[in-house]
Amino acid sequence: QPCWSEYLTTCIEQNTVLKCTCPISECCAQPTAAFIRSILSSEEVVAKYEKAVLRSYVECCSNLTWCTNPQGCDQILCKDGLGYGEACSKCSWVSCFSCSFPEAHYPASCNHMSHMTCAKCNHGFCWHCLKPWRPTHKDYYNCSAMVSKAARQEKRFQDYNERCTFHHQAREFAVSLRNRVSSISEMPEIRTLTFVLDTCKVLEQARKVLAYSCVYSYYSQDTERVDIMEEQIESLELHTNTL
């Protein structure tokens, strides 16, 4: 039993316990969950094993995922509806079910948020950092597209990028304000602050939609649809700035 305990503990620490087999080279039998729990005496090690089993189960289920809150959250989300974004019941962070981007980004699509391709030279690059998607491509900025067109595209990108960055910063301000208001505990009429907290939440959501609308508008090829959307964005931005 001590040998098995040491062997299983090592597998758990190395995160290989779910694939481990009998230590005897001729035997390919895998230890059962009941056997592992009966061998291990450390509650801490057992807890790590349980987490490994849970992690494996979530990764195997297409309708389950972990909350992607960058601040850290151990909540499991279940896909529901269209999957544009799922709000965590624990921390309220809204995650995207369809890609690895850390938060829901509607109306921008998942393709908008990651792998981009140059229409002229077919070079792939990352939208997040603008670095080449394939290391073999030497210089994206030496693309053979016309300079005048490239200049217009660069100016257009800068305009949308500045708008997107502004809305993300404004959203962070709303989050910071809500946290500061929430920390006030000495005021006797704390309920009077409910309106301020609700307003901050509305601002957070509005700024998020405005930011990702910039991404959608920049990459969309449907001019008519973008024109209609730009009118709606302008109205939302006006009311958001007023709020």
User: pLDDT for 207-240, tens place per residue?
Assistant: 999 999 888 888 877 777 777 888 888 889 889 9
Please say if the pLDDT value at position 139 is more than 50. no
Peptide bond connecting 102 to the previous residue in cis, omega within 30 degrees of 0? no
Residues in the chain: 243
Kind of pairing, strands 124-126 and 115-117? antiparallel
Question: pLDDT by residue (tens digit) across 40-91?
Answer: 888 888 888 888 888 888 878 877 888 878 777 888 888 765 555 667 888 8
Which carries the bigger pLDDT value, residue 82 or residue 12?
A: 12
Quick one: pLDDT at residue 210? 92
| Percent of the chain predicted with pLDDT > 70 | 76
Could you tell me if 174 and 69 are in contact, meaning their C-beta atoms sit under 8 angstroms apart?
Answer: no
Question: pLDDT by residue (tens digit) across 20-32?
Answer: 888 887 888 888 8
Confidence of residue 191 (pLDDT cuts 50, 70, 90): low
Kindly report the average pLDDT of the chain as a whole number: 78
Sign, CA dihedral 159-163-165-166, equals positive
Calculate helix-pair angle for 43-60, 2-13, nearest 10 degrees.
50
Please say if the pLDDT value at position 189 is more than 80. no
Q: What is residue 162's DSSP assignment?
A: H
